Structure 1
Amino acid sequence: MTPTLRRARAAVLAGFGVQGLVLISLTTRLPDFAERWDLSELELSGLLLMMVLLAGVGSVLAESVARRHDSARVLRTGLLLVGAAVGVLALAPAAGVFAAALAAYGVALGLVDAGTNMQAVALEHRYDRPLLPSFHGAWTLGGVVGAGLTLATSGLPTEVAAALAVVPLTVALGAGFLPGDRGAPTRLTAAQVAVPWRPIALVGVAMVLFYMVDTAATTWGPVYLDEVVESPEGLVALATLPYLVASGLVRLGGDRLVARWGPARVLRVGALLAALALAVVVAAPSWPVAVLGFTLLGAGVSVIAPLSFSAAARLAAGSGLDPAVRRARVDAVIARFNQFNYVGALLGSVLTGVVGAGSLRVGFAVPMVLVLAMVPLARVFVVPRPAPASAAG
């Protein structure tokens, strides 16, 4: 592979890692921000809902920016906005400024989510082998570092989070993302954007399932340890940290797993492991057993999201297209496909809480059953890879 592709791969890995680091760092500091600004649970929930909805807006905006420029511009713009928003919300002099900065961060979140995945699928097509799992692994390990930073600075004022702004700004200004093709069309014809939406929608269902499970684990897992299996107060984070570590490790090795066994087999085995893991959580007699269940769950569901983006991109790419048209079409589809991320996150946080209002054991039984839908859905992930493109995209 050329030095340009190697540099681009390193840059996109950094982009994924920064996104995970900043997001987890901020979300794990939310109780401190809520205390600083005297926010009720309802007010904090409203701000989080606003952030997720605006992330969807950012993803839609990413399609427009990519069409006029390229996905490198999308990602660089998103990272710059992340840096600016994080600095402002950490140093905000008033609650209104904090809320406005959180809104800007939501838009940036969508831009970076879409931009990193646009770049990742373009590189995967160039390399002509699985790469998406390891890219998403970088996001997960960035999140682990973010959680560690929060723990290490838990006794410091919330203003210390402003230092995080340096990381996305550095990556945005210094990274060599994959450039766009100067011959890429600014507007595609109806024939050029005629992609097979039905199978892409089925892959999107898999994305929704993953984020429902993922959000249930990361949002309600600590509550489960605290209220249901009565873990020591300082250990409730063990619902999330081992989950993230197991997910990150499997994702980093996921490229080779998928190359050897194929996406369908890997997804089916992972779904069965995830269902078993959630059964362990639901039936856990003590907190160590529940932690084991959450750890196995992270390993089981880890590659669903990256393989979903990969399959959607291959379906969008088709065959026999001009490389510039192919890249533009894939970018447009990835920006729209990214919306499934936020749908799943909203459903996961709400459904588990509502169903589990009486007992979180019942709440976690819902994703335990739903994740088994991945077994029949796995067949739609078997898509021929497009021929490698020689032009930059």
Structure 2
Amino acid sequence: MLSMGADLRRARLAIAAAFFTQGLVFISLTTRLPRLQERWDLDELALSGVLLMMVLLAGVGSLVAERLAPRLDSAVVLRAGLLVIAASVAAVVLAPVTAVFVLALAAYGVGLGLVDATGNMQAVALEHRMGRVVLPSCHGAWTLGGILGAVLTLATSGVPWSAVALVAVVPLLATTAPFLARDHGEAATSTETDVPWRAIVMVGLALVVFYTVDTAAATWGPVYLDRVFAAPEELVALATLPYLVATGLVRLAGDRLAEQVGAVRLVRVGAGIALVALAVIVAAPGWPVAVLGFTLLGCGVAVVAPLSFSAAAALAGRDADPATRQARVDAVVARFNQFNYAGALLGAVMTGAVGAGSLRVGFAVPLVLVVALFWLARAFAPADDPAA
């Protein structure tokens, strides 16, 4: 029992490291979007097109993970995804011509989907084995990585562009972590049976709303400060950094909050905070007020994503033996992850397209959509019982 507990603790640290790496790399890139726009002479519509490609290919990567994880184990596919990210990030930074930049960003999109899907598979499996809520803190590790990525952007604004390629070392190191090995039992060959997709779709819609808000903040926040308020270039990452700090603090406390308050009530309270925060961002008279709005936004939406995966996994894994449950849950988590990219599509592409004339109008997209969380919160009830 002691050895099993130690193994689970090591696996929890490894899974947190994967989330941390994903957050660090992603935010390291998004906080440098103004610099990438300038380097490759991209306007808002062109940047939206590139982001659309990346999001669609992330969806492809998630579907590939769904196919490969039952055969190879999610830990193996996770390591492969981290290797793809390492190679593609270095290529994005060092690309000599536009074609190489676009191809590298496409490869990064596939790697993003692989790691997103398998990281959540690992976290859900850990949550079920431990019989308690752990997904908020795992997603909190993503946020801590994002915070470090934003800090690095602020601290290295004057370094040569090629030096940014060193970020690729982090996912390489993460591949050596001791991820959670599958309990290979007599799993059913069909993971589709008795999966309550209608209930899962309700939770998935909340995930769409979250990623619309989150991707708008992470992708367009720095551009918003730069284009609307002409904030100093070295400070545009402040749109992302306080947002991530607030998100990370709430997520790290999210395991306990979810157990004490309940997922449904927690999501509804967060929705109210997010609604106020987005109104502040849209109406901000200057960039310091906008930064305050982004900070408040992080507090509001922090736990929606991890609790969504908890609820979906709980619905998928009920009434099954452990091996069958893990096979079924892996398949559902990979497919459920597609809601992530639908939200990212709205957040990254629609915010930029609608806000082509003014990003104030663009941020009205997540402002309207976040209202739906008040209604969708009732679908989160299964997240209150991760051991079900």
Q: Same-fold call, TM > 0.5?
A: yes
Does the Cα contact within 8 Å between 1:67 and 1:185 map onto a contact in 2? no
- 3-state secondary structure, aligned to 1:156: coil
Q: Percent identity?
A: 67
- 1:351 offset after TM fit, Å? 3.3
Change (3 A) 1:364 1:44: closer
Corresponding position: 1:322 with 2:321? yes
- Could you list the runs of 5+ residues in structure 2 that have no partner in the other structure? none
Contact 2:45 2:352 in 1 (8 A): no
Distance 1:232 1:90 in 2: 23
Distance in 2, matches of 1:352 and 1:181, equals 42
SS in 2 for 1:382: helix
Tell me, in whole angstroms, the C-alpha distance in 1 between the residues paired with 2:83 and 2:302. Answer: 28
Amino acid paired to 1:214: D
Cα distance change, pair 165–286 in 1 and its aligned pair in 2 (3 A): closer
* Residue aligned with 1:2, SS: helix
- 2-structure distance, mates of 1:308, 1:368: 20
2:114 corresponds to 1:111: yes
Q: Distance in 2 between matches of 1:222 and 1:170?
A: 29
- Aligned match of 1:66: 69
> Would the alpha carbon gap of residues 289 and 156 (structure 1) be closer, same or farther in structure 2, given more than 3 Å must change?
closer
C-alpha offsets along residues 300-346 of structure 1, whole Å, 9 cap, x if unaligned? 01111111111111111112x12111000000000001011111111
For residue 7 of structure 1, the aligned residue among 5, 10, 27 is: 10
Tell me, yes or no, if the aligned pair for 1:271 and 1:372 is still in contact at 8 Å: yes
Instruction: Pick from 83, 102, 126 the counterpart of residue 80 of structure 1.
Output: 83
- The separation in 1 between residues aligned to 2:191 and 2:308, in whole angstroms, is 26
Given that 2:16 and 2:141 are in contact with CA atoms closer than 8 Å, whether structure 1 keeps it comes out as yes
Letter in 2 for 1:281: I
- Note if contact 1:80-1:168 (Cα within 8 Å) is conserved in structure 2: yes
Correspondence for 2:157 = 154
Structure 1 residues 374-383 or 323-332, which shifts more?
Answer: 374-383
The residue number in structure 2 matching 1:183 is 185
CA contact (8 A) 1:78 1:109 kept: yes
Kept after mapping to 1: 8 A contact 2:89/2:165? yes
Gap change, CA 1:386 and 1:146, over 3 Å in 2: closer
For 1:352, the equivalent position in structure 2 comes to: 351
User: Conserved in 2, the CA contact under 8 Å of 1:67 and 1:186?
Assistant: no
How do 1:236-385 residues align onto structure 2 when only pairs under 5 Å count?
236-319=236-319, 321-357=320-356, 359-383=358-382, 385=385
Tell me the distance in 1 between the aligned counterparts of 2:372 and 2:302: 16
TM-score after normalising by structure 1: 0.90
Which string of whole-angstrom CA distances, capped at 9 and with x for unpartnered residues, describes residues 247-288 of structure 1? 111111111111111101111110011111122223333333
Q: Which runs of 5+ in 1 are unaligned?
A: 389-393
Indicate the RMSD between aligned Cα atoms, in angstroms. Answer: 2.3
Query: Do residues 53 (structure 1) and 56 (structure 2) align?
Result: yes
Q: Is the contact between residue 264 and residue 379 of structure 1 (CA under 8 Å) also seen in structure 2?
A: yes
Alignment partners' CA distance in 2, 1:213 and 1:94: 32
Give me the TM-score of the superposition, normalised by structure 2: 0.91
Give, as a single letter, the amino acid of the residue that structure 2 aligns with 1:180: R
- Greater CA drift, 366-375 or 293-302: 366-375
Are the counterparts in 1 of residues 154 and 234 from structure 2 also a CA contact under 8 Å?
Answer: no
Distance 1:364 1:87 in 2: 31
Find the aligned partners of 2:357 and 2:39 in 1 and give their Cα distance.
31
